[in-house]
Chains A and B, each alone.
Chain A
Amino acid sequence: GAGVSQTPSNKVTEKGKYVELRCDPISGHTALYWYRQSLGQGPEFLIYFQGTGAADDSGLPNDRFFAVRPEGSVSTLKIQRTERGDSAVYLCASSFSGRNEQFFGPGTRLTVL
C-alpha cells in the first residue's frame, strides 16, 4: 500500500515569503506528526494531530508556524515570513491511534535564501 507522501520534495523560497508543505498520511491513520530535521541533527517534534485537532503543538518554534488538518487526513504546514533559519527537512509521520509505530514520509527540503 501507499506510504506517507509529502509534497513538494524540494522548496526554495526567499526570505520573507510564505510557504505551504503538504503531507498525505497512510490511509486509516488518525495520528499525524510533523518534525523538523536540521543538518546533522535528529528530527525535532513540531506538532501532533489526533484526527482534525492539534493535540500537541508545543514544538512549533513561534507563531510564524501553523498547521492544519481540516478533514482528519491531509495536513498542511504553513510558514509565514520565512527566515533563513527555517531551512531544514520537514518530515511528516502517521500512525494508528494508540499505536507506537510512526511511519515517515520522505520529507520536504526547504531552503530559504
Chain B
Amino acid sequence: GDSVTQMEGPVTLSEEAFLTINCTYTATGYPSLFWYVQYPGEGLQLLLKATKADDKGSNKGFEATYRKETTSFHLEKGSVQVSDSAVYFCALSDIGRGSTLGRLYFGRGTQLTVWP
C-alpha cells in the first residue's frame, strides 16, 4: 500500500544553517506530495505541495522537488530561522488520475529546533 518514510529527528540547527529533511514514498498510482508543518501549540498547516513528477513546490523559503525516479520529496531551506522551529510532516495523497479518495498518508514527522 501507499506509505511515506521520513527522516527521523530531532534535527537541531543554528540559525542560517542549511536544512534538508529526507522523505521517500511508496505508491501504486500517481500521488500528489505534500509537506505539512505543525508549529508549537498550533494545528497542521500545508507548507508546500507538488502534484506531478519534476514539479517543485515552494513556500516561505522552503522547497521540495517531486522525484519519481528516486521516489523522493526532500524538504530543503537554504537558511533556517528560529521561527522555523516546528514539526514537519511529509505526506502523499492518492487523489488524481481518476481516484477521488484523497486520503493523506503521513510520515512520522521530524522535529526541527533552530537555535539563535
A residues apposed to B, CB below 8 Å: 31, 33, 35, 40-45, 48, 50, 55-56, 59, 91, 93, 95, 97-98, 100-107
Q: B67: which A residues are within 8 A, CB to CB? A: none
- Choose among B100, B101, B104 the residue that contacts A102 (Cβ–Cβ < 8 A): B104
Q: A56: which B residues are within 8 A, CB to CB? A: 101, 103
Q: How far is the CB of A43 from chain B (nearest CB, A)?
A: 5
With CB as the reference atom, state the residue of chain A lying closest to B45: A104
In chain B, residues 86-116, which have Cβ atoms closer than 8 Å to a Cβ of chain A? 89, 91, 93, 95-96, 100-109
Mind listing 9 A-B residue pairs with CB under 8 Å? A35-B104, A41-B108, A42-B91, A42-B109, A43-B106, A55-B100, A91-B43, A101-B46, A102-B102
On whether A100 and B93 interact (CB within 8 A), knowing A41-B108, A91-B44, A106-B43, the answer reads yes
Q: Are A95 and B106 in contact (CB under 8 A)?
A: no
Q: Give how many A-B residue pairs fall within 8 Å (CB-CB).
A: 65
Q: How far is the CB of A65 from chain B (nearest CB, A)?
A: 16
With CB as the reference atom, state the residue of chain A lying closest to B42: A106
Q: B4: which A residues are within 8 A, CB to CB? A: 42
Measured in the bound complex, the distance between the Cα atoms of B44 and A35 in whole Å is 12
With CB as the reference atom, state the residue of chain A lying closest to B51: A100
- Choose among A48, A97, A104 the residue that contacts B43 (Cβ–Cβ < 8 A): A104
Measured in the bound complex, the distance between the Cα atoms of B94 and A55 in whole Å is 14
Given contacts A59-B103, A97-B100, A106-B42, 11 further A-B contacts (CB under 8 A): A33-B102, A41-B108, A42-B91, A42-B108, A45-B103, A95-B102, A98-B95, A100-B51, A100-B102, A101-B49, A102-B102
In chain B, residues 49-102, which have Cβ atoms closer than 8 Å to a Cβ of chain A? 49, 51, 89, 91, 93, 95-96, 100-102
